[in-house]
Structure formats: C-alpha cells, structure tokens
Structure 1
Amino acid sequence: MRIKDIIVDQQLIIAAGREKSLFRRHPWIFSGAVASVKGRPKSGQTVDVLGQNGQWLARAAFSPKSQIQGRVWTFDADERVDAEFFLRRIGKSAARRRRLETESDALRLVQSESDGLPGLILDRYAGVLVFQLLTAGAEFWRAEIIEALRTLFPDDAILERSDVDVRAKEGLAERIEAVQGEIPELVEIRENGLRLLVDIRSGHKTGFYLDQRDSRLAVGRAAAGAEVLNCFSYTGGFGLAALRGGAKSVTQLDASAPALELAVRNRDLNGFAPDSMTTVCGDAFQILRAWRKEGRTFDLIVLDPPKFVDSKASLTRAARGYKDVNLCAFHLLRPGGRLFTFSCSGLMEDTLFQKIVADAALDAGRTGRIVRRLTQAPDHPVELAFPEGAYLKGLEIEVE
C-alpha cells in the first residue's frame, strides 16, 4: 500500500524548526509548534502532521481547545488509525502485562501515551474493566475502543469512568457509564497475598492506586514489629500491607470517612485483629501538628498525599505543602524509624522533591539516608521518548 493511499485530508503543518521533538518520537504537539491547520478537522479527528517542506512526520489526534493541539497515534506512515488499530494496540498492551498476573488480578492494561494510546487509561479489576477517555482523540474513537474491549474481554463487565477534570481542558464533559454487564458496588481483588475491596464506581482514580503496588510491598517488608502511621490512607492499602508484614499496630489517617470504613472492611476481610488497626478521620496537616505537640511517635510513617501540583503556577504552593507534611513526619518518627514519602505530581521533579524532603529533615533537626527510591509499578510503564510518563516518585528514608 502506498502512503498516498491512506494520507488524510486534514493536516497540521509544523512551524519551521519545531519538528525536533517529533524526530525524537515525542507524542505531544503544542499549539505553539503549529504553523497552520488545513482541512478544518473536527475535535479529536485524525490529522497528518507535516513539516514546512511537506515531509510527513506523524499521524495524530487533533485537539483545538488544548494547549497540546496534537497527540500522536503513530509515526508509521503506512499505519491506519481505525478500529483495527485500537483492537491491535489494546491487545498488545494487555498481553505485555500477563507476567504480572501472579502478583495481582488488578492491573493497568493501558497507560495512555506510554502504550501508544494517548488519552486512554484501562484498568482491570478481577474481571471488571474500568476505562477513562482523557483526550479529544480518545473520545473521538470511543465506539471503536469499546468494541475492541468487548472483543478482547467478552466475559468482563465494562465501566467508563471518564469523570476527571482534565477532560475540561479538551472541551469534554465528564461521563460515568456502565457499558457492558453488571457493575458491582465493590470488587474484591488480590494483591501480594492481600484481599482488598475496591469501589470502582466512585473511588479515587478508577477505584484504587494500582501504581503503588510495589511500594505497598516494600512497606510490608519494612514493617515487622513497627507501630505504623499511614497518612492519606484512602482505603488502607499501605497499612494493610504493613499488617501483613507483621506490624505491631497501624493507624490509618484520612479525610474521608467512607474510605476509612472500607479500610475497616478490608482489615476484617484479611482476618487482622480489630485492635491491630485504628482509623482517624480528619485533616492530616492539623492532626499531625496536634500529635507533634502531644509527643506522639511512630516507627514507620507513610506519606502518600494527593497531587499537590496541577500546573507550573502551583509548584511553589505545592512545595510548601510537601515540606510541611514531611516536617511533621520527621518530628513524629522515632530514632531509627522509616519514612516512606511520595509525590504523584508529574511536574514535581525528583531532584526538587528530594531537596524539599531534605529541607524538612533539616528544619526538624533530623538526619536521614535514602535506602530505596520508589516509583510506579511496572504495569504503569514509561515510554523512553515520553519522560512525562514518569510521574510517581518515592523515597524510603532511614531516619536518625
């Protein structure tokens, strides 16, 4: 098949000198790099990306309302973007995760750009698929994506959870819709020996923080005999991993009463003693400061706060938040204790995060050593040409 047989009428023409990122196969095309748009493409429609000299560069989804005006589907001029494209790519992406099924029956099967499918998130929870369409391009191909899921997973229930703020940047409304089968209120999953109930209908993200699977395992391995504090605990994953690892006790701290109620159900589901776990509902910053005044201490603390950074403009404010919560943790840790501290903000670079944590330790009069760097689980891969895919960073610190 000749390239001209499949070239599309709609085109993005790249400004002179702005093609370099595409030559490196980076999938984003910012509006400032676009010299002109030809053919009046609709939002989400596929466009060919050409250089000033007419050189074909990529095939992308057009998003006129976003600062990222094009998201590349393919760098292969002979590859069509059609129903078969999505069936093929989703199938290959899911197949790459099969080796992880021994660890858990809850996995991320598609990680957006890092799996060559910008704007598509697909998680599988023990036979229930939950997907999100985050971009105009993914939304444009919604019917084909759903048909691919039905073909690849004919026995699975399917739920759409496109209820995320980022869709507004693409000019899209939020949507939650049961697509196939009966959607349970809660799904029971297994992870490294734990049984966990997940609220896929209204829980955080698609229901659970699958990206922290390896970090939960690391906490469990460090928790034997420890009194553990799990801050921003959600439904208790880190704390339950600590109990399975032999922790003496766990305190789960979160602002959501329903999340803590589910943490208690997860404790009981795993057969842990009722007095092994305490739940505290409230503002973590206020409660940690109060415990510092009371002189309360712990052997191991987990800090896994929500994303503090959603734009470069909010980076300074976020840095203060990260420093504040880590400062509290250093004050509450006993000598020889362990701090597991995380940032899930992609705009927070690793070096800056480490500096913030180091400054917090200094202000608290404590010293510490990083014994392990933590990142997202392998079902959340990072494509080599897309470093933005590496958003989760964590430090395991031994504190003196």
Structure 2
Amino acid sequence: MKQARPYPKVVVTRKAARALKGGHPWVFEGEVLSCEPAAGGTPVANGAVVDVFEENGTWQGAGLISQESKIRVRIVTRNANDRIDEAFWARRVAYAWNHRRVAMGSRALPGCEPDTNTCRVVFSEADQMPGLIVDRYENVLVTQVGTVGMELLRPIIYPLLLNTLQADGQNVTAIYERNDSPSRAKEGLAQYKGWWDGEGAEVPATPRIVVAENGLKFDLDIENSQKTGFFLDQKYNRRAVRQIAAGRRVLDCFCHVGPFGLNAAAGGAEFVRCVDVSQTAIDLAAENARFNGLDGGMGFTCANVLEYLPELSRDRSRLREEGGPFDLIVLDPPAFTKSRNTVNHATKGYREINYAAMRLLPRGGYLATCSCSHFMTRDLLAGAIADAAHQANVQLKQVEERQQAPDHPILWGVPESHYLDFFIFQVI
C-alpha cells in the first residue's frame, strides 16, 4: 500500500489472511503477530480503527480492535479509499435501511401495516457494523451493542439511525438500549439498559409498546422480554404457517408470546393450543390473543414441551383435554446449542422433540419445525428430523424449506450469519 494511512497497524498470520480473503470479517487473538502505532504516532487504542496487514505487507482491510476479546479485530471495510468517519457510518446505516426497503417494502399482507414497521434494521456483521443489532418496533428502535468499538460509536451511529429513518418518512423517535447481555463481559463492557437520551431522541414514559406484524397486534415489554422484545426473524415463517392453518387443530410449542399461534388462528384454524414453559410468556400470549379478538378459539398451557408432547402421546384423554388430536404442530424451540461442544447433545434434543411431534400427528398432518442456532447447521437439523421420521415410522413430504427473514441477511462467507432453518412437512 503506497498511500499513508492514519490508523495503527495490526499484522496477522497467513491463516487469518486466508479467512479474510474468503470474506470472513474476524481476526482472532492468536492470529495477531504484532500491533504498531500509526505512521503519525497514534497508538493502538481499545475499540479504535486499525489497519490489518498480512505478514507479507498486503493490506487486508480496516476494522475495530477489541483488546479484551478473543475476536481481536472485526473488519468494517476492504476499500482502502474509505476513511472511517461519520460519513462512512452514515453510508453504512443508509445501506442497511435501503436493504430492508428493497427486501421487505412491497411484501405486506393486503390491508396490513408495512413489513418495515417492525423489522431488524442492522444485523451486525451482515450489515458491516459488527457488534450492533438494531430492531425497529414502530416508532422505537431497540439496540444491542456487543463490542467495545460499537460502544464508543454509539453517539455517532444513534443519531444517524434516527436521521436516516426520519428522512425516509419513518416515524421513529426513540432508542431503547438492551445492553444487558452477559456476553458483553468478553469485551470488558458493563451491562445496562434504558432509554438513550442523546441527540434528537425522545424518552417515552414506558417501555411497553404495541406493535403490528402480519396484521396482528402484540403488546411488548422491551425492557424485560427476551432479546430485544420479539423474534422478528420468523415473520414470514409465521405467515407460511398461517397459510396452511385453515380448518386445522394446531399445537404451537415453545410459543413465547404467541405469534405462531395467533397467525394460525388468524388463518382460520379451528383451534390453537399454545404451550410454553414460562408462565409469563403464556400470560402474554393469552393477552395478545384477547387483544386481537382471537381468544375464543385458543387455549394456553404452561408446560415443559419436552415432557408435554410424550405425555399427550401416552394419555389420549389428556390429549383431548388439550384440544387434540392436532393435525398441525409447530416446533419453535430456543437454541439447543450455543457452542460446537454441545452440538451432539442438541442433535439428540431436536431428534426427540420432532419424534414426539410426529408420534402425535395423523397421516396427512403437518409439522413446522426449526432450529435457531448457527452451530446446528441446516444439514445437521435435516439429519435429526430424518432420524426422527425413521424412528416414528413415518415418511415426510416437504412442503417448504425456509430461513430467517431478509431483514436478518445471510452474508456468504460468514456462516455465523445463517442461524435459522425452518421446514414444513406433511406426514404421510
């Protein structure tokens, strides 16, 4: 590289360079050979921009350094002409929002709210803003910051988010921070949550928000609920379940606050039973059903699904009490694995719940099933489902294979960005 660079220099191994050339944006702690001040003397500072060079002097990109993390550098650009300033981040925010407008802007159900009213606006590495998650819930953005670099950039990026959306005519006025993930400790960051009261932001009186998705309303508590308040990645998968629910008796397992079950009810299901191990989630699901006038055809049970499904198979009277027999079962479990070390155990878990569901379904019934862990790859999940079908002595006819919604884009070369796989089968 001939031009002078204003950033400190990180030299990495050939192995790291190969990964970067393949499109992956991470440099790990053990792949860093040296860190040097910039030509002008600027030292390496935690969270700051650094240039990344291979041992042979080839420039590989510029990224944000995290001196306490095993992921030592996260690349933000591979264009040597970029200067990582406010204008750079303004372009990144604009690119992210424009992707949502293109991918989701014309897909709303007839007579319903735009799909971009509730969607993920920024998806970390997939939007070249590593460590930043931004979800939109009507007029509020809920953010999660997971890296020291993004923590330092909050005063720059947050106003850019508000300005970009407002300039596009979007009524977005407030930002709630859910920076309470234990994973922040890996970056040396404290946990906290609350309204951001910086430039241009309103501070609402309550963290309770009513949002609309697929024409249904949900009362969310963005302060205390899981993640940022809702699982937006299943938006179109819920719609797919709605399209086959008419006239069916539906069992929604791991229902959380009820979005799959409510979509099935809205699609004309004869009856829907929602099941979750959390009483709080069940109460919210029941409240959301009443909120949408769908509670007359729905029931709610607090139970451990791993125990509940085998119980229904053993006890036919219990099955009838719960509203069965069911001819459409939805399995939307939490991630059974968050590391490579537990993949085998997770595979067993997915096999067991799918086997239990298939045992309950009649011939001709439907199963919607998924995994939300990138460690549980598509092929591993498919293998677990196939094993379950063999064990249950049934054959599966695939109706659809789906993934996460496009506001959670999959960045090729970065397998961590592909984490949700979703299948619909008919049991024959």
The verdict on a shared fold, with TM-score over 0.5 as the criterion, is yes
Give 1:76's aligned residue: 79
Work out whether residues 335 and 372 of structure 2, in 8 Å CA contact, stay in contact via their aligned partners in 1.
Answer: yes
Work out whether residues 61 and 70 of structure 1, in 8 Å CA contact, stay in contact via their aligned partners in 2.
Answer: yes
Give 1:115's aligned residue: 127
Residues 20-66 of structure 1 show CA distances to partners (whole Å, capped at 9, x for unaligned) of 22223321112232222224623322111011122221101112332
**How far is the alpha carbon of 1:98 from its aligned partner?**
2.1
**How far is the alpha carbon of 1:210 from its aligned partner?**
0.4
In the alignment, does 2:302 pair up with 1:281?
A: yes
Between stretches 229-238 and 257-266, larger displacement belongs to: 257-266
Give the SS at the match of 1:72.
Answer: strand
In the alignment, does 2:60 pair up with 1:57?
A: yes
Letter in 1 for 2:240: A
Work out whether residues 374 and 415 of structure 2, in 8 Å CA contact, stay in contact via their aligned partners in 1.
Answer: no
Give the SS at the match of 1:195.
Answer: strand
1:216 & 1:150 partners in 2: Cα distance?
A: 29
1:285 & 1:17 partners in 2: Cα distance?
A: 42
Work out whether residues 158 and 183 of structure 1, in 8 Å CA contact, stay in contact via their aligned partners in 2.
Answer: no
1:198 & 1:216 partners in 2: Cα distance?
A: 18
Give the SS at the match of 1:223.
Answer: coil
1:12 & 1:388 partners in 2: Cα distance?
A: 24
In the alignment, does 2:329 pair up with 1:301?
A: yes
Give 2:361's aligned residue: 333
Matches within 5 A, 1:221-260: 221-260=243-282
Work out whether residues 338 and 398 of structure 1, in 8 Å CA contact, stay in contact via their aligned partners in 2.
Answer: yes
Letter in 1 for 2:358: F
**How far is the alpha carbon of 1:183 from its aligned partner?**
5.3
1:389 & 1:139 partners in 2: Cα distance?
A: 21
1:43 & 1:289 partners in 2: Cα distance?
A: 52
Letter in 2 for 1:308: F
- Aligned match for 2:20, one of 13, 22, 25: 22
Give the SS at the match of 1:48.
Answer: strand
Work out whether residues 299 and 333 of structure 1, in 8 Å CA contact, stay in contact via their aligned partners in 2.
Answer: yes
Work out whether residues 262 and 289 of structure 2, in 8 Å CA contact, stay in contact via their aligned partners in 1.
Answer: yes
- Aligned match for 1:391, one of 419, 423, 427: 419
Matches within 5 A, 1:73-222: 73-99=76-102, 100-101=104-105, 102=108, 103-104=114-115, 105-153=117-165, 155-179=172-196, 180=201, 181-182=203-204, 184-222=206-244
- The change in CA–CA distance for 1:386 and 1:289 in structure 2 (over 3 A counts) is same
Using structure 2 for the length normalisation, give the TM-score: 0.88
Give 1:318's aligned residue: 346
Residues 156-211 of structure 1 show CA distances to partners (whole Å, capped at 9, x for unaligned) of 11101122232222222222121142153322222222222222111111111100
1:375 & 1:92 partners in 2: Cα distance?
A: 22
Unaligned 5+ residue runs, structure 1? none
Residues 348-393 of structure 1 show CA distances to partners (whole Å, capped at 9, x for unaligned) of 1111110111111211222212221011011111123323211100
Identity of aligned residues (%): 38
**How far is the alpha carbon of 1:233 from its aligned partner?**
0.3
**How far is the alpha carbon of 1:17 from its aligned partner?**
4.7
Give the SS at the match of 1:252.
Answer: strand
- The change in CA–CA distance for 1:322 and 1:183 in structure 2 (over 3 A counts) is farther
1:312 & 1:142 partners in 2: Cα distance?
A: 32
1:351 & 1:281 partners in 2: Cα distance?
A: 32
Give 1:342's aligned residue: 370
- The change in CA–CA distance for 1:229 and 1:3 in structure 2 (over 3 A counts) is farther
Give the SS at the match of 1:96.
Answer: helix
Work out whether residues 25 and 75 of structure 1, in 8 Å CA contact, stay in contact via their aligned partners in 2.
Answer: no
Letter in 1 for 2:421: K
- The change in CA–CA distance for 1:287 and 1:305 in structure 2 (over 3 A counts) is same
1:32 & 1:42 partners in 2: Cα distance?
A: 18
Work out whether residues 194 and 223 of structure 2, in 8 Å CA contact, stay in contact via their aligned partners in 1.
Answer: no
1:331 & 1:37 partners in 2: Cα distance?
A: 58
Letter in 2 for 1:128: V
Letter in 2 for 1:166: S
Letter in 2 for 1:33: E
Work out whether residues 3 and 78 of structure 1, in 8 Å CA contact, stay in contact via their aligned partners in 2.
Answer: no
Give the SS at the match of 1:141.
Answer: helix
Give 2:383's aligned residue: 355
2:270 & 2:74 partners in 1: Cα distance?
A: 49
1:135 & 1:22 partners in 2: Cα distance?
A: 19
Between stretches 358-367 and 143-152, larger displacement belongs to: 143-152
Letter in 2 for 1:353: L
Work out whether residues 327 and 362 of structure 2, in 8 Å CA contact, stay in contact via their aligned partners in 1.
Answer: yes
How much is the aligned-residue C-alpha RMSD, in angstroms?
A: 1.8
